[in-house]
Amino acid sequence: MVPLLHRAARCGRGRGHSRRRLPPRRWIVVLLVFLMAGCGRMQPTGAPQDGFSLTMAAQPSPPVVGDGQLIVTLHDPDGRPVSDARLQVEGNMNHAGMKPSFGVITAAADGQYTVAIRWTMGGDWYVDIKATLADGRVIARRLPITVHVR
Amino acid sequence: MSGSRPVHTLDLLRWPILGRFLKWRHARTALQVPFLLAAALIVFDGLVGPQLAPKNLATVSVWLHYRGLVVLALLVAGNLFCMACPFMLPRRIARWLRRRLWRDGRPVPRIVRNKWPAVVLLVLFFFVYERFSLWASPWWTAWIVVAYFAVAFAVDATFRGAAFCKHVCPVGQFNFFGSLISPLEIKVRAAARCAACRTKDCIRGPQGCELALFQPAKVGNMDCTFCLDCIHACPYDNIGLIGRTPTAELWTDPFRSGIGRFSRRFDLTLLVAVLIFSSFINAFAMIGPVYALREQIGRWLGGPAPTVDLALIFGIGLVVLPGLLLAAAGWATRRSLPAPVEPLTAVIGRFIYALVPLGFGMWLAHYSFHFLTGGLTLVPVVQSFAADVGLYQGAVEWGLGPLTPGEWLFPIEALCLYAGAFGSLVAAMQIAHRRLAGETTPDLAWRTVRVAAPWLILILALLIVGLAILVQPMEMRGTFQGLSG
């Protein structure tokens, strides 16, 4: 059962939990705490504590089904643009059954990254953006966006 | 049909391997255990896994695969998912508790010995499902499964018989509804053998039917969970899993053991009406026009009111419109019936069953769409789960998704709906034909058409509405509002 804790621990990542292994006896307590507390509730989409500003704008706006673009803007806590981050962009629909759309970075300058992405269906999407900074730090956000049908 | 010699050509219990398995005393348990394990994984991942519906076992397996496979099983076989229902496993403990603590428990109170609790729960579920976008929340999906186990346990620990299955379980009612069109039925092989039986183990014995379906008088699949108890109870091996003409049980209205006559059961009429019309509402809720309508209602109300606007749509789509349409069709049919004419509710209660194939066709089209669009997404989700628990080291194949090319989807959906409409047209004519049985007028064929005509028109109108919904691109919105609102 201990390996299952990896799955459980994963949901706490954004909240500063560690993935440290717990003594085997305590797994059941941890499991119960997770179950009862509903650790897996929808992650808040508000700004995390890292101080970075990561925003996203769609082109066209509002986005429509088909090929589209996202303009991702990244600034450090002092408001300086960050242009040398390695970006991973993944769009997922809000409901089960649709495979993810992965964004392709086509340009980056002055803290702005142009990402080509294909919206495969109209509706609510979550865009997960992971920016790996030059010093190895990772800035991650999950941003909601609604895609319209043409 | 006389004597005790079986005359049925298709009886799955006579098949070499499958028949032997199903007759095995532990067959149901063997089917339930994998589902119980799956339910445990669903609950676990729903509560502690990634809270993104396409990446969580709970949402993918419940809203995509379970629903898709349920309707397919009902279409090609019967109520297989009640047969393998994992919620019934803890019930054994509940039964034991009931016998120990409450002297075999209480009978179900007369006031709820019907389908009313299930009707209320179904409507409530459909509403909450749309209002709070349950399909988008692994966490809520997991809690629904937990709640199901808890309620099934509590109900069956308190009341005698299969109270939960017969009167409460919304999923079971959906399965009963769908199994009305199924090609398989559990029934006696030879009536003469039952006539000679003195022990009636299939109803009285320790393994007698808990849903009060007495095999010799059982007709059709309503309320039958395919639990196999009667098969094991019958000392004469006189019960089979027998092939039949799909939808044929809708054509007649005999007295059915444990149920009575369909046309005299207003609660059943309502249950069937809810399941027919909610198939359209449920599909309508996933396309763009519903959002325009909700925004318009919001403007009328002076601002967004997601609960009120959805309640209005449900009220109109599930109460007002069905009520008016059924009353109008029933009234028109009643006018063309020969004396003695039944009350309006009985006419509606008889002819509404003609709409069952169409309603099921709409559910089939809708759930098939989801299943065919994302059937293979289960593979990466399972891979991801296995990777997280240290059982898989390979690459997670997120590129897997549809089972069929996208351009096949609408033709398949339309085929489901056309097949349902065809079944409904046949059923309406058959019901009218049987209602006029004994009439000897030369224009009987014409009179049959006249009696069925309001229902034929209603079926064609609903077919057009269904096609208009299915032809729209899917557009699931409102989640952000739903979860936070």
Q: What does DSSP assign to residue B338?
A: P
CB of B55 within 8 Å of a chain A CB? The answer is yes
**Looking at residue B81, what is its pLDDT?**
96
Asked, for residue A123, whether it belongs to a domain, the answer is yes
Instruction: Check if the beta carbon of residue A95 is closer than 8 Å to that of residue A120.
Output: no
Give which of B287, B220, B214 is closest to B465, Cα–Cα: B287
**Looking at residue A108, what is its pLDDT?**
86
The b/e string for B385-413 (b: 16+ C-beta within 10 A; e otherwise) is bbbbbeeeeeebebebbbbeeeeebeebb
Which segments of chain A are extended strands (E)?
Answer: 53-59, 66-75, 86-93, 101-102, 104-109, 112-119, 122-132, 138-147
Interface test with A, best of B56, B471, B475, B483 (most A CBs within 10 A): B475
Claim to verify: residue A31 and residue A76 sit in the same structural domain? no
Residue-wise pLDDT for A22-54, tens only, equals 455 555 555 555 454 444 334 444 557 889 999
pLDDT band at A4 (very low <50, low <70, confident <90, very high): low
* A7, A34, A123 member nearest B477 (Cβ): A123
Asked, for residue A140, whether it belongs to a domain, the answer is yes
**Looking at residue B9, what is its pLDDT?**
82
Asked, for residue A64, whether it belongs to a domain, the answer is yes
**Looking at residue A3, what is its pLDDT?**
52
d(CA B424, CA B427): 5
**Looking at residue A29, what is its pLDDT?**
55
Work out whether the CA dihedral B285, B287, B291, B293 comes out positive or negative. Answer: negative
**Looking at residue A17, what is its pLDDT?**
37
ipTM: 0.80
**Looking at residue B292, what is its pLDDT?**
86
pLDDT band at A14 (very low <50, low <70, confident <90, very high): very low
pLDDT band at A143 (very low <50, low <70, confident <90, very high): very high
Question: What does the mean pLDDT of chain A come to?
Answer: 79
Interface test with B, best of A1, A4, A7, A126 (most B CBs within 10 A): A7
A residues 66-105 near B, CB within 8 Å? 92-100
Asked, for residue A101, whether it belongs to a domain, the answer is yes
**Looking at residue B141, what is its pLDDT?**
97
Total Cβ atoms within 10 A of residue A138: 12
Instruction: Check if the beta carbon of residue A70 is closer than 8 Å to that of residue A117.
Output: yes
pLDDT along chain B (485 residues), means of 10: 58 95 95 96 94 94 96 97 93 83 84 95 96 92 96 91 93 98 96 94 90 95 96 95 96 96 96 98 91 89 89 96 98 92 95 98 96 94 92 92 92 97 98 89 89 98 97 74 36
Claim to verify: residue A11 and residue A81 sit in the same structural domain? no
B residues 12-51 near A, CB within 8 Å? 44-51
Q: What does DSSP assign to residue B110?
A: G
Q: Do A3 and B138 touch (CB under 8 A)?
A: no
Claim to verify: residue A104 and residue A74 sit in the same structural domain? yes
Q: Which two tokens stand for residue B480?
A: 């952000």
Q: Do A124 and B478 touch (CB under 8 A)?
A: yes
β-bridge mates for residue A138, sequence order: A132
Q: Do A95 and B51 touch (CB under 8 A)?
A: no
Entry pTM:
0.89
Asked, for residue A43, whether it belongs to a domain, the answer is no
* B48, B401, B476 member nearest A39 (Cβ): B48
Q: Which two tokens stand for residue B145?
A: 């499964």
**Looking at residue B254, what is its pLDDT?**
96
CB of B396 within 8 Å of a chain A CB? The answer is no
Q: Do B47 and A93 touch (CB under 8 A)?
A: no
**Looking at residue B3, what is its pLDDT?**
45
* A97, A100, A146 member nearest B64 (Cβ): A97
Interface test with A, best of B37, B48, B66 (most A CBs within 10 A): B48
Q: Do A123 and B400 touch (CB under 8 A)?
A: no
Q: Which residue has the tokens 């496979």?
A: B69
| Domain that residue A101 falls in | 53-147
Chain B partners within 8 Å of A38 (Cβ)? 47, 139
For chain B, domain boundaries: 12-250, 281-484
**Looking at residue B362, what is its pLDDT?**
98
Asked, for residue A62, whether it belongs to a domain, the answer is yes
Claim to verify: residue A59 and residue A130 sit in the same structural domain? yes
Phi (first) and psi of residue B330, to 5 degrees: -65, -40
Number of separate domains in chain A: 2
Claim to verify: residue A33 and residue A57 sit in the same structural domain? no
Give which of B48, B42, B39 is closest to B388, Cα–Cα: B48
